[in-house]
Structure 1
Amino acid sequence: MSREILYVAEALSNEKGVSRDVIFEAIELALASATKKKHMKDMDVRVDIDRTTGKYDSFRRWTVVEDDEFESEDKEILLAEAKKTDADIEVGDVIEEQMDSVEFGRIAAQTAKQVILQKVREAEREQVVEMFEDRIGEVLSGIVKRVERGHVFIDVGSGIEAIVPREFGIPREKVKRGDRLKGLLVEVNRLNRGPILTLSRKSPDFMIELFKVEVPEISQGFLEIKGAARDPGHRAKIAVFSHDKKLDPIGACVGMRGSRVMSVANELGGERIDIILWDENPAQFMINAMSPAEIESIVVDEEKGSIDVAVNEAQLSQAIGRGGQNVRLASELTQWEINVLTTEQAEEKNEAEAMEFVREYEEKLDVDEDMAILLVQEGFSSIEEIAYVDEAELLNIDGFDEDLVEELRGRARDALLTQMIANEEKLESKKPADDLLGLELMNDKLAYMLADKGIRTRDDLADLATDELLELIEMDEADASELIMEARKHWFE
């Protein structure tokens, strides 16, 4: 039977393309399983096959455990009992005892069959994982094998199957068996029993990789893709930049008679692609990204990360796009929140914001309306600027002398100090008291959430009914009740 084991291991290794060690391990597991069945016990068995001769030995095993951990006499032995034969043995060690081996006959072979096949499948799967786990982000191509409920299964070669899940596909794209299809490898799954390669045709990165294939100047380093945004199957925008001043980045991506961009668009189901010139100036990049709409003016708010874009009323629908598509893609591409306004709306908004500054300066700097308007017209948009800007900028304003500038800066700094004190008092009023923080069932996050709702002390919490607490904070009803009872505990003591 030893030669038969060697024959089986060699044959399966050649047939499945996995190592002989994997096959031997599977046979060892199968023989161990057959041994347990023969003895009708849930024992721990190890089988060791000699890889050269095919001969094998079987061993029964017991794990050494403490008294309070003992669960099975078939697999475990108490530490005190084990020390009778080996004084140096410790918890967690394993005792082995050689036993009679079962024959590698028909019954053992049948038992081994499923174990071997499972091991082979695991080995094949691991080979695929190792082959592709370093290729995430690459475009794979294959033949469509089948389509099930919107999920597309693709043979990417060597019998390896990949899947384009419905949520990663291009909406309403018609795909049928036998089509050649590409996708971006986004995941290599070790656990899934089905296809282990997941492809995406929806990702903006998929479009970027397609352009890298079609436009050699990108791989040569002359052009760089700075970003992309897609409404899959409908429209996309891609931002490009040239490191060579002599090279037109948009022309290079479009190609002769549009051949390059058309090739990418066809792969994406006819998606319309706007190629945008990237600019390090956010304002100019925004103007480019809003193409084909013509921009009248823009206002950048760096603190909020937003940009107001003003267009002629006739251009409004084009700037927004169908269903907000154009502005949404431009926003995704530039990573700025875009607000599209007509020129009239922008002027009204700017005027309203200017008047807010005027009122603020009148109130906090104690100046008249004319001076407040003058400060706004000169570009001062905050009390901080007036307080800490270089004196020369204020002195450049017509009618401002050193005494006036010093007075204005002093008032601005006083206003900031007053605001800072008010903020600190506001924060202090929302800080939970020590007795609330000290509750056993309380944590810092929950305490600060309660304090923000006006529940700052233990007594504040104790006064609440369970339903009142649940209206303030989303939590489990039993936990809320228990927390309130803990807060009331000192009342009864």
Structure 2
Amino acid sequence: MSKEVLAVVEIMSNEKGVDRGIIFEAIEAALATATRKSHGDELDARVEINRHTGDYTTYQRWEVIEDDVQIEENPYWYIRMMDAVEEDPNIEVGQFIEQEIESIEFGRIGAQTAKQVILQKVREAERKKVVEEYSKRVGEIITGQVKRVDRGDVVLDLGDNVDAIIPRSELINREVFKMGDRVRGYVQEVEFRPRGPQITMSRACKEMLIELFKIEVPEIGDDLIDIMSAARDVGLRAKVAVRANDPRLDPIGACVGMRGGRVQAVTNELNGERIDIVLWSPEDAQFVINAMAPAEVTSIMVDEDKHSMDLAVADDQLSQAIGKAGQNIRLASELTGWTLNVMTQTDMSAKHDNESKVQLALFMTALDIDEELAEVLVAEGFTTLEEVAYVPAAEMLDIDGFDEDIVQELKDRAKDALLTQAIAKEEKLAMAEPAEDLLALDGMTDDMAKTLASKGIVTQEDLAELGTDELIEIIAMSEEAAGELILKARAPWFE
């Protein structure tokens, strides 16, 4: 029997390419199953095979349970704690008491049972092997052959009985594949599922675009050129930002290739998607200007607080700057990470004038100064009272015509104005009344609602936008209670 066991292990291990240990475990499970069935499932069995000799031993075993646990099925599989300690004083609940019994012959066990268990174990091992192998390839582009198209999803045969899927949402617009076509895709995710490994690929993600350039442009693989970011309007247009690590190298020219051969190869793979190669710059404004190509930006205004930029272009270039259905401005915004607003130079000037008037009025009223002095502050880039109050005095002394007395007086007036605004805001909040929907919220008391309203949380929607820690800072309550109250406030979001 021992030789027969070793022979089966050797044959199946070689045929399936599965570790011998997994085959041994499968045979042990098959023998245990056959032993249980031969006793009418009245006992639980465990089989242990010697990995070197092939000899095996069978044990009847009882799982240790608490004395008061009710046993509904297979009562002979369990032993109560009070009886188990007589066999082993150190035994614990959940462990097993075992006793060696006669083993059934390997050649006489239920052949079908053994085969099913072994094949199941082998399939599980093969699936895990596939998951391990392809998990290392997440982030790569691989090629497969179209096996079938299922409701728009493309199933690829990667070879060795391994399938992958490209969901319909991850295909390029207007792409149509038929059985037998060879298709390249970017491996996004590999999951182990009961029915087998699930390899999900994409042709629509920006990583696919980046990896294609790495394949077509050797300088990227050699770290002479870096791809800094990418943005895609799938199937229509894309932008890629590049920089050279060698100042003698032209990164755009290298990516375009001789006669456009390199970028054309990427375009062909992506079903004709047009690609703009953009020079990356460490200066955000310059990077945005580069990203807006082919439109030429004539002036730019940066708002660091809002992380946005206003871009001005010539009147006849506005439509080009925006692009079809906003495509150019949208891709440039995604590429740079900035919120971009494009307008004509005329509109930019008008907007700037309006903002200057607002700032002039603010400074003249809050600081009680004349228009000429307010214009100086605006011209020097001051936009808020906080800047006037807290910008270092040394910087303001550099302004032509400003001395220490003027600077100190402006700072004092700005601080007084900010204090007045803060007091007015506090008074307004103190007088705030909670909305009806906040008062009606389950678990909300009048005192709690008034406290929230005094902090600017007036409606149920205001409460829904709070975090648990923020609510606890306002009202003394447990984290659990705060979480429940916020969830109740958010209930309309999920209806």
TM score, norm. by length of structure 1: 0.84
Q: In the superposition, relative to structure 1, how do residues 111 and 471 fare at CA in structure 2: closer, same or farther (>3 Å)?
A: closer
Could you say which residue in structure 1 is the equivalent of 2:89? 87
> For 1:42-84, what per-residue CA distance to the aligned partner results, in whole angstroms no more than 9, with x for missing partners?
6432112233443332222212222244535333221111112
Letter in 2 for 1:474: R
Say if 1:70 and 1:77, in contact at 8 Å, map to a contact too. no
**1:83 partner SS:** helix
Deviation per CA, 1:380-427: give whole Å up to 9, x if none.
112122223343544454554433222111101222334455566778
Would the alpha carbon gap of residues 367 and 279 (structure 1) be closer, same or farther in structure 2, given more than 3 Å must change?
same
* Structure 2 match to 1:44: 44
1:9 Cα offset (Å): 2.1
Structure 1: stretches of 5+ with no match in the other structure: 461-468, 477-493
Contact 1:240 1:250 in 2 (8 A): yes
The reply to whether residue 129 of structure 1 matches residue 131 of structure 2 is yes
**For 2:362, which of 343, 360, 363 is the aligned residue?**
360
Structure 2 residue 15 is matched with structure 1 residue 10:
no
Question: Is the CA contact (8 Å cut-off) linking 1:365 and 1:408 kept in structure 2?
Answer: yes
Alpha carbons of 1:471 and 1:82: their partners in 2 closer, same or farther (altered >3 Å)? Answer: closer
Task: Give the partner amino acid of 1:473.
Answer: A
Distance 2:35 2:194 in 1: 31
Matched, 1:474 2:490: yes
Q: C-alpha distance in 1, partners of 2:25/2:428?
A: 69
Distance, in Å, in 1 between the alignment partners of 2:289 and 2:42 is 73
Match of 1:236 in 2: 238
1:58-97 paired onto structure 2 within 5 Å = 58-71=58-71, 73-97=75-99
Work out the CA distance in 2 between the residues paired with 1:471 and 1:29. Answer: 48
**For 1:65 and 1:343, how far apart are their aligned partners in 2?**
82
Query: Can you list the C-alpha shifts for 1:193-224, whole angstroms capped at 9, x where unaligned?
Result: 24532221111111111111111111222211
CA distance in 2, matches of 1:43, 1:314: 88
- The 8 Å contact of residues 163 and 195 in structure 1, kept in 2 or not, is answered as no
Partners of 2:443 and 2:50 in 1: CA distance = 60
The answer to whether the 8 A contact 1:234-1:271 is kept is yes
| Residues 357-400 of structure 1 deviation map (CA, whole Å, 9 limit, x = unaligned) | 12221232122333323321232112122223343544454554
**Range with bigger deviation, 116-125 or 69-78:** 69-78
Q: Which deviations, in whole Å up to 9, do the C-alpha atoms of 1:279-304 show, x marking residues without a partner?
A: 11111100110111111211111111
What CA distance in whole angstroms lies between the structure 2 residues aligned with 1:241 and 1:266? 24
The one-letter amino acid of 1:379's match is G
One-letter code aligned to 2:315: E
CA distance in 2, matches of 1:351, 1:67: 86
Please say which of residues 392-401 and 145-154 is displaced more in the overlay.
392-401
Partner of 1:488: none
Decide whether aligned partners of structure 1 residues 42 and 203 sit closer, same or farther in structure 2, where only a CA change above 3 A counts: farther
Residue 458 of structure 2 is aligned to residue 453 of structure 1: yes
SS in 2 for 1:146: strand
Q: RMSD between aligned alpha carbons? A: 3.2
CA contact (8 A) 2:433 2:458 kept: no
1:365 touches 1:411 (CA, 8 Å); kept in 2? yes
Q: CA deviation at 1:121?
A: 0.9
Rate the CA distance shift 1:41–1:472 in 2: closer, same or farther, 3 A.
closer
8 Å contact kept, 2:12–2:23: yes
- Please list, as runs of the form range in 1=range in 2, the aligned pairs for 1:15-414 lying within 5 A after superposition: 15-41=15-41, 43-71=43-71, 73-105=75-107, 108-191=110-193, 193-414=195-416
Separation in 1 of the partners of 2:433 and 2:4?
Answer: 78
Letter in 2 for 1:172: R
Tell which deviates more after alignment, 421-430 or 319-328: 421-430
1:30 deviates by 1.7
Report if aligned partners of 2:127, 2:197 keep a CA contact under 8 Å in 1.
Answer: no
The answer (yes or no) to whether the contact 2:288–2:336 under 8 Å persists in 1 is yes
Q: Percent identity?
A: 54
Report the counterpart of residue 481 of structure 1 in structure 2: none
